[in-house]
Amino acid sequence: MGCAQTAQVDEKSELPSVQNLKQHEDDHEHHENEFLVLDPPPGYLTSIPSLGFSIVDVVRLDAMQSTLYHLKIDSGHHPFQVRHLHDKFHPNVIADVNHHFGLHARYRKLTDYFSRRAANWGTPKSGCGQGIRMGTVDGGLDTKHPAFKGRNVTYRSFHRKGQKISSIAHGTAVASVLVGGPTWGNMLPNAHLSATNVFQKNKKGRSRASSKGIFLAVNWLMKQRLQVINFSIGGSANRLVKRAIERAHKRGIILIASAGNNGPLTRKKSYPAAFRHVIAIAASNRFDKTAKFSSAGDYVEFSAPGVKIYTAVPGGGRLMSGTSFASPIVAAFAAAAIKYKGIKNLDQMRAYLRKNTAAHGRKKWDKFSGWGFLHVNPPC
């Protein structure tokens, strides 16, 4: 790409149809008139008007060592058409639609089946998790909830300017699985948690995260000296989110993500879980059976409890189901393995987890539970 080449986008007839340009990874929603560009070369700024864009925001991301351009599409073209044109004229630049991401949760009534009990870890020893640093990319957090009293939690929101943070129930629930008090999750109660929110309410009142928000959140988390980041979210294979995952992986952070709640017959992959540097987690019930809602696919690696897990939510507690709650249990497994077992990288982590599965006589991987149901002995 160079500033000498620009694309004129005045004639819609010059471009393929939106349906022909839709990729398999575009199954999820996206912002209608927005486009994201990462690290354009010198001279790109002057070419933006001829490309049919105007600038919404330019963000320098120090941890990523990148610059993110958030652009508005003024040409009237569909974002898929804009991506096609941009790839044609600027093939070496990472750019994509501003995809939406959603949460992987289902809500139920109360119970006492919280995450540490679901993992068969029992009562934690004094100081359990001390020195461990974890992060989440999720929804908002109720920092005043009793589950986090005396806990070491840092919270920052990357929701869209001018829009309200959506429900904080999901982010609060996932955080409580990791570090909540004795009745709220309590996996690693003395660990430090850096929690981020990337969700806001869109014009229809729905809870949605953007690719930009996820990119910004991962950039911030990379500065927090973390061992593990959990993503209980899912969406399209956005190129910028992929780059964020690659940068975090290169930093040595273990990345865990929920596989999705689209059921065993789905053909829809969920990202970031399906990116190769991420460990994708399906959900099982207390009898080590894959949950009926849990997504299946060639990216699923392991299964963990994710059915009727009691978690903290604003105003009290709630029984939650979803791969959203299996994923942080495995994030705690992974963080404990780094601290107490000396696991140092992703390959070692995958090998360690494979040694701690109960596959019920099955020696091969399958698309429903991956390598099997995780049973990790409590480290503390």
Active site residues: 138, 170, 324
The residue length of the chain stands at: 380
Q: Supply the DSSP symbol for 13.
A: G
Q: Is 380 exposed, middle or buried (0-12, 13-18, 19+ CB in 10 A)?
A: middle
Which amino acid is it at 346? L
Cα(356)–Cα(285) distance, rounded to whole angstroms?
A: 17
CB 30, CB 99: distance < 8 Å: yes
How many C-beta atoms lie closer than 10 Å to residue 212's C-beta? Answer: 24
CB 215, CB 147: distance < 8 Å: no
CB 177, CB 118: distance < 8 Å: no
Task: List helix spans (H) across 154-302.
Answer: 169-179, 211-221, 239-250
> Per DSSP, which regions of 75-191 are E strands?
94-103, 106-108, 133-138, 152-157
3-state secondary structure 247-279: HHHHCCCEEEEECCCCCCCCCCCCECCCCCCEE
Which amino acid is it at 176? S
The residue among 250, 255, 346, 260 whose CA lies nearest residue 300 is 260
Q: What angle, rounded to 10 degrees, do the helices at 323-341 and 346-354 form?
A: 110
SS3 168: coil
* β-pair partners for 302: 281
